[in-house]
Amino acid sequence: LGLVLFGTVFTLLILYVNNVIIGGASQLEWLLDPDQGTVVTLSLSVLLFGVMGGIAVRFFQRNQEARIALERKNRQIRSMNLQLEKRVEARTQELRAAVAELQEFSFGVSQDLKCPVRAVEAYTQMLMEDLPEIPDESRKMLASVYGLCGRMTGLIEKILEYSTISRKKPVFEQV
């Protein structure tokens, strides 16, 4: 409505300048008995500014609708981000609990395996030292068992080291 009113007043001003000031018509004559060109010009300008006003109003409505839709989408994105962060945090906690459980299990298994392996290793060593009359083939077997016990102890130590690795700070070396 403001655009239509502005356009109409502006058109009247132009027509006034053209007819009264430049054309020399009297003000009263121009107001009471306008010529056909003035009426057509005024009608077309009202129509034109009316259409322009409608276009402007629709433009501002669409702009406002787009702004509202964008804000709604932004709220949805923020909400989805919060939900995702909560899910990530929950999964991280689950993963930490699983890692802790695995570490405890690894530690327990390594401790449970160490005792029997040490006993076999010790018995094998005692047999090799205390019984010199063992045949060579049996001595080789005992030496093999003794060596395998050493390897097994090394593997158990690696499992134990693995179970505690996440508690250690990383050490960086130049390669």
Tens of pLDDT, residues 41-97: 777 777 677 777 777 778 888 899 999 999 999 999 999 999 999 999 999 999 988
CA 118 to chain centre: 52
The whole-model pTM stands at 0.46
Residue 65 is predicted with a pLDDT of: 92
Our CA dihedral for 5, 11, 17, 22, rounded to 10 degrees, sits at -170
Residue 76 is predicted with a pLDDT of: 96
| Reported confidence tier of residue 100, pLDDT bands at 50, 70, 90 | confident
